[in-house]
Each structure stands twice: as C-alpha cells, then as structure tokens.
C-alpha cells in the first residue's frame, strides 16, 4: 500500500459519506487505472430500487457499458467497505486486478448486527491474480458507519 492507495481510498470513503447524506447506504467506490479515477460513486440501491446497485457493482457496470468493455485487467477498485459476495463476483468477472478497502466484512457485520458474510479474500482466493489490500484507514471508514441504522437494509438479514 502506498500514498496513492490512501488517496483513492479516502475518495471512496468520501463518496460513502455522500451516499449516506443522500439517503443511501453508506458505501462508496472508485475505479482507477494508471493513477487516474475513471469512475466513482456511492450506493444507489434505494434511489434505483435495485438491490444490485451497490457502489462497486454500479460503477463497474456503468464504466463497462459506457466504454464497451468487458475486461478491466490492470484496473484497481477502492472501496469504503470490503466488497460483498455480489461485488466480489463483479470484480472477478470484470477481471479487476486490485482491490483496496477500509472496513472489513467482519467489522461491518458487527456494526450492522447482520449475519456473517463471506469476505472477499475467501471468495477470490482461487483467483490469485487479484491483489487484495485491507483493511486500512479503518478509523476513517468506521466513522462513516457510526450511528447508521441498518434496519431497512438487507444487511441485517
């Protein structure tokens, strides 16, 4: 992990704050290649009535559609929270090379009171080409989740 990783991760955390302010779940993600942000966004599940509109999944989908790409090899994904099973699948199928995250799934489940979810390292372990860095900048990531009520969320089931 270097200073650029921290810079992009802080942007993902900032997007999570914005998503929370906008009435969405507090998650954000940034897609980067060659140290340039190419796509970014926050969670949009309530705004779109789409349970798959997680920040990571949405920016991968939108970027690929806009650019008519299926392969994001050489791209990095920065996430305010460790990618869930859905988003880990998107990373795998898009062939993203690197994931950097702040809050782990284990930490998130402790906060949300939800059932334990499989972490992305376990899900992606057979695919060793994906570099996974995290959790890092934990205090900054946890601050976004502080006091958030996950009652209406699928995270608690």
Catalytic site positions? 56
- Residues of the chain by 3-state class (helix, strand, coil), percent to 5: 45, 20, 40
Bridge partner list, 31: 39, 77
Strands 36-42 and 131-133: unpaired
The alpha-carbon radius of gyration of the chain (Å, integer) is 14
Strands 36-42 and 98-103: unpaired
């Amino acid at each position: 992990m270097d200073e650029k990783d921290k810079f992009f991760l802080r942007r993902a955390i900032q997007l999570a704050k914005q998503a929370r302010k906008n009435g969405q779940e507090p998650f954000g993600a940034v897609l980067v290649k060659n140290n340039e942000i190419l796509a970014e966004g926050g969670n949009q599940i309530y705004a779109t009535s789409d349970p798959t509109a997680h920040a990571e999944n949405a920016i991968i989908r939108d970027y690929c559609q806009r650019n008519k790409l299926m392969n994001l090899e050489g791209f990095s994904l920065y996430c305010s929270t460790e990618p869930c099973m859905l988003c880990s699948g998107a990373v795998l199928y898009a062939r993203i090379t690197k994931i950097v995250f702040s809050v782990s799934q284990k930490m998130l489940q402790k906060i949300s009171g939800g059932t334990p979810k499989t972490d992305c390292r376990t899900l992606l372990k057979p695919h060793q080409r994906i570099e996974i860095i995290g959790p890092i900048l934990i205090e900054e990531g946890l601050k976004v989740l502080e006091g958030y009520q996950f009652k209406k969320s699928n995270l608690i089931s």
